[in-house]
């Protein structure tokens, strides 16, 4: 997505399972760990079969029998896994999602190595391009010998800027290459007319995750800012600048970014769709930023005929205009040099890669080692040509019967949610009618798209690796911009099929589950129902109930931003949502750092909703109605164990702080104890009594569905 800076060694995603990128105003919601996290991972074997059954989905060896389920169910269900699965040096966290994603990445490696070795692939074919892109990344001898030479033409372009027109043209140029230059631009469905794509300009231009990293005054935030300026200077030195000049230029960059950050909305404010929707025609745009020509920008973007776009954050663009007016051109050229090298560094020779990782990996995430090169190469190919790669993955790993079983589960969960909405005591008939209509029109996407993306216009060749990356980024930029003003393509996917993630898009009213997550241990057609409903069933319920969380509820059945709630129902909903906000505000991450209840409100509503609906759906199965134990546990106990084991995660302290500041998903520990402590069925299953930590007092229990 535009306006984002990819992390070194990360993939892309939304459900929230690893790390990926900073998000501006996230337009869709994921499940696992953030709209900013999604990392590919590999199984160590602990996510396999349950003891005593050949088809079980939970692992009894992960359970810490010394812990008490009613005191800390996260420790009880996952304690042995946590103790036996330390975080590998190349990762900021390690989880069950990590293990599955790593397995998928190994499969993708095998596919890409076959494609790279296949000399019979027709010129210009997807197989040929996949092999060429992967091979250009893996050819370390050439990458190392080239150094910064591949970006020297781009550096000259920046150096040759002489006026505002040239500056505007270069901003577009760098955005096409993937750089987070000044602001983000792309397409999205019009919030007020969801059938049509509209241009979208968003706050951006930062090298740190979000505004909080520039404005917070605690000691750790100040320390990160010092190290960030040092990192920028180091990068300039690698380009050949003398240390004194590099230090001076780094301060210039930091000054510009700080001004932009101070005018940016906070992560919490970005969650309000009304706060990021300001449709303007070209005249209004020009009045907003008289020092920046949108006519020039759109011409350079290849869409001069566009006459209106959405401006996500007008105050940000006012500050941008002020900075463009007050700062000398030389400062902007320095800033653009930084944007270029910051984007290019992970794809250049070792000194650039190491310097980039040293800050973004070691300082911000606490990661000790960079990922092996092949893993970074696989991630970049998935980022650049993920649907071509995904087609081969699906053919190998996702048979039709798996898709059919997943669709059955989805339909089962939808029927359960329909029944729940129909009987909610706090919802009045007028609101209920709209809620049911929204569920009726919910689009379901399982495994992979019905039509594969066309990469024929993407030119991948025997050129330096970074140039191939730039070509892929520019292809994606033009693909997005070309959609502006056209009807929304309802068949399009935002995640590639191998991705271990899922999402709900409120503007399309759709739930999407890539084949990558529809794999053991989260989904296994041969496993017992308790395991499948406790893991994948909750994932499905999570995404469905995003349509009715604090953000999703503001969009109607057709994806338009419109209030369809009666005042009384809205008040009752907000009271219930406020209960969840207060609950998560109380969770201590470390020292005096708490979860931000308002930031994680939507995901926590979806976690509780997903758990509630999946459990109700499970109760309709023959297995749930039986008294047969597997591995010594009842069906209900296995359901809750499956849920908790899905979230088994070890997290580095630095990364936990990053997540709390940027991620709309709670820390995994709290994603287990939070929803379960609000669930009476869990307390009954494990015999928990009032007053025990895993049982919130009835007056404090949060309940929406």
At 482, list the tokens. 């070309």
For residues 446-467, one letter each, b for 16 or more C-beta atoms within 10 angstroms of the residue's C-beta and e for the rest, the string is bbbbeeebebeebebeeebbbb
Query: Distance between CA 656 and CA 140 in Å, rounded?
Result: 33
Radius of gyration of the chain (CA): 25
For residue 699, what pLDDT is reported?
86
Contact 679, 695 (CB under 8 A): no
DSSP state of 88: P
The torsion angles phi and psi of 165, rounded to 5 degrees, stand at -65, -45
For residue 119, what pLDDT is reported?
80
| 221-249 pLDDT, tens digit each | 999 999 999 999 999 999 999 999 999 99
Instruction: Name the helix (H) or strand (E) containing 390.
Output: helix 373-397
DSSP state of 554: G
Query: Distance between CA 300 and CA 312 in Å, rounded?
Result: 21
The DSSP annotation for 587-623 comes to -EEETTEE--TTTTHHHHHHHHHHHHHHHHHHTTSHH
At 576, list the tokens. 């219930």
Maximum Cα interatomic distance, the chain, rounded to a whole number of Å: 78
Instruction: Name the 3-class secondary structure at 310.
Output: strand
Give the CATH number of domain 166-371. Answer: 1.10.1380.10
For residue 526, what pLDDT is reported?
84
Q: Where are the alpha helices (DSSP H) in 179-313?
A: 212-215, 219-238, 243-262, 282-288, 294-301
Q: How are beta strands 308-311 and 193-203 bridged, if at all?
A: parallel
* Angle between helical axes of 73-84 and 635-646 (0-180°, round to 10): 50
Q: How many Cβ atoms sit within 10 Å of the Cβ of residue 403?
A: 18
For residue 50, what pLDDT is reported?
31
Q: How are beta strands 503-505 and 443-447 bridged, if at all?
A: unpaired
At 286, list the tokens. 């020009």
Query: Distance between CA 359 and CA 344 in Å, rounded?
Result: 15
For residue 118, what pLDDT is reported?
86
Kindly provide the residue ranges of all beta strands, DSSP E only, lying in 118-239, ordered along the sequence.
183-190, 193-203
Contact 184, 3 (CB under 8 A): yes
Q: What is the dihedral of CA 481, 14, 654, 65, to 10 degrees?
A: -170
At 532, list the tokens. 């499948």
Query: Distance between CA 451 and CA 525 in Å, rounded?
Result: 25
Query: Distance between CA 499 and CA 44 in Å, rounded?
Result: 19
- SS3 for 419-435 is HHHHHCCCCCHHHHHHH
Counts of helices then strands in the chain (DSSP H, E):
28, 12
Of 70, 73, 97, which is closest to residue 85 (Cα–Cα)?
A: 97
The torsion angles phi and psi of 687, rounded to 5 degrees, stand at 65, 30
Instruction: Name the helix (H) or strand (E) containing 308.
Output: strand 308-311
DSSP state of 9: T
Domain ranges of the chain: 166-371
Contact 189, 246 (CB under 8 A): no
For residue 381, what pLDDT is reported?
98
Query: Distance between CA 190 and CA 310 in Å, rounded?
Result: 8
Model's pTM, two decimal places? 0.92
Instruction: Name the 3-class secondary structure at 266.
Output: coil
Query: Distance between CA 571 and CA 566 in Å, rounded?
Result: 9
Of 4, 42, 258, 295, which is closest to residue 165 (Cα–Cα)?
A: 295
For residue 56, what pLDDT is reported?
53
- SS3 for 330-348 is HHHHHHHHHHHHHHHHHHC
The torsion angles phi and psi of 146, rounded to 5 degrees, stand at -75, -30
| 643-688 pLDDT, tens digit each | 999 999 999 999 999 999 999 999 999 999 999 999 999 999 999 9
Of 526, 499, 529, which is closest to residue 642 (Cα–Cα)?
A: 529
Q: For the sheet with 308-311, list strands across it.
A: 183-190, 193-203, 308-311, 279-281
DSSP state of 699: G
For residue 494, what pLDDT is reported?
95
Contact 360, 8 (CB under 8 A): yes
By CB atoms closer than 10 A (0-12, 13-18, 19+), residue 255 is middle
Averaged pLDDT in 10-residue chunks for the chain of 705 residues? 27 32 34 29 28 56 97 98 97 96 97 91 91 97 96 97 97 98 97 97 97 95 97 98 98 98 97 97 96 96 95 98 98 98 98 98 96 98 98 95 94 97 97 98 97 97 96 98 97 96 97 96 91 96 97 98 98 97 96 94 98 97 93 96 97 95 96 98 97 94 94
Left if phi > 0, otherwise alpha if psi is -120 to 50, otherwise beta: which for 376? Answer: alpha
At 543, list the tokens. 């995404």
Instruction: Name the helix (H) or strand (E) containing 444.
Output: strand 443-447
């Amino acid at each position: 997505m535009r306006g984002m800076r990819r992390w070194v060694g990360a993939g892309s995603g939304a459900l929230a399972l690893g790390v990926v990128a900073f998000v501006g105003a996230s337009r869709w919601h994921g499940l696992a760990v953030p709209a900013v996290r999604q990392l590919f991972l590999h199984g160590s074997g602990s996510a396999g079969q349950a003891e005593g059954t050949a088809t079980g989905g939970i692992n009894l060896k992960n359970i810490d029998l010394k812990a008490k389920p009613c005191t800390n169910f996260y420790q009880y269900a996952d304690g042995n896994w946590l103790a036996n699965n330390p975080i590998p040096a190349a990762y900021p966290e390690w989880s069950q999602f990590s293990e599955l994603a790593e397995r998928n990445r190994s499969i993708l490696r095998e596919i890409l190595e076959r494609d790279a070795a296949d000399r019979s692939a027709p010129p210009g074919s997807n197989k040929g391009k996949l092999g060429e892109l992967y091979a250009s990344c893996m050819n370390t001898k050439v990458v190392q010998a080239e150094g910064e030479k591949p970006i020297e033409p781009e550096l000259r372009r920046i150096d040759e800027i002489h006026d505002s027109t040239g500056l505007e043209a270069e901003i577009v140029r760098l955005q096409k290459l993937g750089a987070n230059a000044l602001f983000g631009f792309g397409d999205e469905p019009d919030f007020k007319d969801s059938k049509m794509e509209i241009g979208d300009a968003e706050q951006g231009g930062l090298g740190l995750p979000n505004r909080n990293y520039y404005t917070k005054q605690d000691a750790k935030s100040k320390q990160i800012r010092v190290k960030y300026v040092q990192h920028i200077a180091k990068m300039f030195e690698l380009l050949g600048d003398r240390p004194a000049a590099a230090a001076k230029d780094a301060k210039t960059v930091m000054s510009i970014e700080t001004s932009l950050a101070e005018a940016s909305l906070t992560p919490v404010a970005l969650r309000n769709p009304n706060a990021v929707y300001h449709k303007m025609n070209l005249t209004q745009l020009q009045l907003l930023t008289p020092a920046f020509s949108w006519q020039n920008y759109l011409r350079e973007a290849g869409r001069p005929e566009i006459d209106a776009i959405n401006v996500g954050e007008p105050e940000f663009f006012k500050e941008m205009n002020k900075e463009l007016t007050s700062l000398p051109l030389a400062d902007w050229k320095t800033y653009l040099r930084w944007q270029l090298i910051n984007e290019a560094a992970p794809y250049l020779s070792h000194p650039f890669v190491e310097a980039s990782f040293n800050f973004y990996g070691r300082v911000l995430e606490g990661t000790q080692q960079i990922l092996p090169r092949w893993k970074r190469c696989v991630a970049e190919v998935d980022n650049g040509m993920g649907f071509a790669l995904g087609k081969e993955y699906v053919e190998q790993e996702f048979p039709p019967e798996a898709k059919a079983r997943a669709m059955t589960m989805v339909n089962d969960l939808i029927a359960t949610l329909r029944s729940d909405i129909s009987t909610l005591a706090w919802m009045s008939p007028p609101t209920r009618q709209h809620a049911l209509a929204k569920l009726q029109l919910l689009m379901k996407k399982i495994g992979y798209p019905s039509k594969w993306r066309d990469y024929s216009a993407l030119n991948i060749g025997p050129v330096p690796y970074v140039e191939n990356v730039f070509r892929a980024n520019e292809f994606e930029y033009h693909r997005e911009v070309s959609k502006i003003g056209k009807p929304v393509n309802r068949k399009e996917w935002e995640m590639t099929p191998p991705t271990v993630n899922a999402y709900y898009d409120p503007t399309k009213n759709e739930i999407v589950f890539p084949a990558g997550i529809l794999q053991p241990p989260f989904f296994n057609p041969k496993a017992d129902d308790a395991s499948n409903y406790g893991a994948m069933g909750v994932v499905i319920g999570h995404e469905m109930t995003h349509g009715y969380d604090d953000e999703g509820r503001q969009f109607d059945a057709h994806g338009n931003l419109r209030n369809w709630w009666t005042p009384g129902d809205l008040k009752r909903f907000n009271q219930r949502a406020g209960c969840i906000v207060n609950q998560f505000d109380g969770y201590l991450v470390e020292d005096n750092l708490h979860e931000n209840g308002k930031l994680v409100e939507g995901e926590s509503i979806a976690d509780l909703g997903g758990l509630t609906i999946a459990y109700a759906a499970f109760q309709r199965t023959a297995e749930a109605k039986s008294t047969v134990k597997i591995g010594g546990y009842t069906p209900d106990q296995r359901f809750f164990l499956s849920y908790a084991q899905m979230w088994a995660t070890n997290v580095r302290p630095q990364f936990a702080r990053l997540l709390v500041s940027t991620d709309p998903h709670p820390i995994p520990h709290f994603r287990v104890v939070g929803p379960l402590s609000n669930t009476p069925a869990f307390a009954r299953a494990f015999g928990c009594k009032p007053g025990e930590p895993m049982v919130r007092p009835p007056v404090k229990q949060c309940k929406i569905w």
